[in-house]
Structure 1
Amino acid sequence: MTIRVLIVDAKPERSQELEQAMGDAGFEVVATVDEQQDLHAVVERLAPDAVIIDSALPSRDTLEHVGQLGRRYPKPMIMLAEQESPDLTRIAAKAGVSAYVVDHVQPALMRSMVNVAIASFESHRALKGELTRTQETLAQRRSIDRAKALVMELRSIGEEAAYQYLRTTAMNRRMTIHELAQELLTAAGKR
């Protein structure tokens, strides 16, 4: 499968060279756009696999715009710059840039650079998804534990009996234990 890339560049004379390098590396350049265009609309319409931003020295505004784009349309983003700045590198990382490369890369290295950025992005996204699922599970567990404590107090029963009560009641009402716990806590005003 050919990887589809979008190039964002303020200077068309540079972007032609980058387009050629990307084509030589085996990528499909879906479009080259100016950084002043509505990048959200372009990314939504073209759905590239990766976005390459070519900027002589990216401004903080450009990096903020890239960050907003990444939050709305998560894609691997590679920033090509002519100069390095530790501050801009940190800001670029916070904005969601997968790779910050100083100077232009030769076509032979372009493929591995983009592939590594995509793999890194996917790995990071998978970890974020796992973290979110874990946080949701812990929140559900806390609700169940609070509901179990409420049942123990109201019915003067032990922990195991309270859990069995929640489990049986949830099954009889065709709901999850978490849903029942939320209902009980809401009714008791302990959400």
Structure 2
Amino acid sequence: MPNPLSICVVEKDAARAKEITEALHQGGWADVTVITDDASLTQTLASTEPDLVLIDLANPRRDTLETLSEASGARQRPVAMFVDESDPELSTAAIQAGVSAYVVGGLSGERIRPVLETAIARFRMMTQMQSELEAAKKALAERKTIDRAKGLLIQAKGLSEDDAYRLMRKAAMDQGKRLIDVAQALVTASELLR
């Protein structure tokens, strides 16, 4: 059964690209696009919008790696990078650039499926963690705004903290708004009245 994921292969050597494409087809991936020119990477990715990018580099340099990682959309989709030689600095740079899998030892047909599956799983995990981090940051910012609004009510009306919170909550319910919206309006009004 063919795998429905679309894959973009970045490989300058045409013969090597053919080997990789054949290995992908044998692994069940039928929708494969090959890019042999780094210059067209961004444009081709924009037009094909692949689910995964596979990059095969014999001897990557840091600037090439960073350019390819950025152009391949490593933050938007799984990117698996295969290199021939180990370099701790480059592997760290690749991971920091968002590459989901950085595999040393080159690309061989029997390794493609497990590496790509791992890259997909790691990408999903990192995406979920990023989402959770953003949600936590947003909740913290909202909590700070609510606390600031409570402080303004305490200062202006001489209320206790609980009473200030209840007053904002009642206003939110009466107006059909979220508590954070009422708190933000109060903070904004306070800043305008200074």
So what's the TM-score if we normalise by structure 2?
Answer: 0.90
The Cα shift of 1:169 comes to 1.1
Query: What pairs up with 1:166-185 in 2 under 5 angstroms?
Result: 166-185=168-187
Structure 1 gaps of 5+ residues are none
> CA–CA distance in 2 between the matches of 1:165 and 1:46?
53
C-alpha RMSD of matched pairs (Å): 1.8
Divergent runs of 4+, >4 A: 70-73
Aligned residue number for residue 71 of structure 2? 69
1:146 equivalent in structure 2: 148
Paired with 2:27 and 2:142, the residues of 1 have a C-alpha distance of 48
Choose which of 21, 24, 41 in structure 1 pairs with 2:23.
Answer: 21
Structure 1 residue 77: deviation in Å?
0.6
Residue of structure 2 aligned with 1:89, choices 79, 88, 91: 91
Segments of structure 2 that go 5 or more residues without pairing to the other structure are none
Q: Is the 8 A contact 1:70 1:96 kept in 2?
A: no
**Residues 175 and 70 from structure 1, CA distance in 2 versus in 1: closer, same or farther, beyond 3 angstroms?**
farther
Q: Deviations over 1:85-126 (max 9, x none)?
A: 111111111111111112334323211110011001001101
- How many aligned residue pairs are there? 190
Q: Would the aligned equivalents of 1:77 and 1:97 in 2 still touch at CA under 8 Å?
A: yes
Q: CA–CA distance in 1 between the matches of 2:103 and 2:126? A: 19
How far apart in 1 are the matches of 2:4 and 2:101? 20
Partner of 1:115: 117
Change in Cα spacing, 1:164 to 1:132, as seen in structure 2 (3 Å) is same
Report SS of the residue matched to 1:132: helix
Query: In terms of mean alpha carbon deviation, does 48-57 or 102-111 score higher?
Result: 102-111
Evaluate the alpha carbon distance shift between residue 72 and residue 87 of structure 1 in structure 2; reply closer, same or farther with a 3 A threshold.
Answer: closer
Which residue is equivalent to 2:62? 60
> Residue deviations 1:13-68, cap 9 Å, x none?
21111111111111124210124233222222212111001111122222222332
Q: Which secondary structure does the structure 2 equivalent of 1:80 belong to?
A: strand
**Identity among equivalent pairs (%):** 31
Instruction: Check whether the contact 2:78–2:119 (CA below 8 A) recurs between aligned residues.
Output: yes
For 2:21 and 2:129, locate their aligned partners in 1 and report how far apart those are by CA, in whole Å.
32
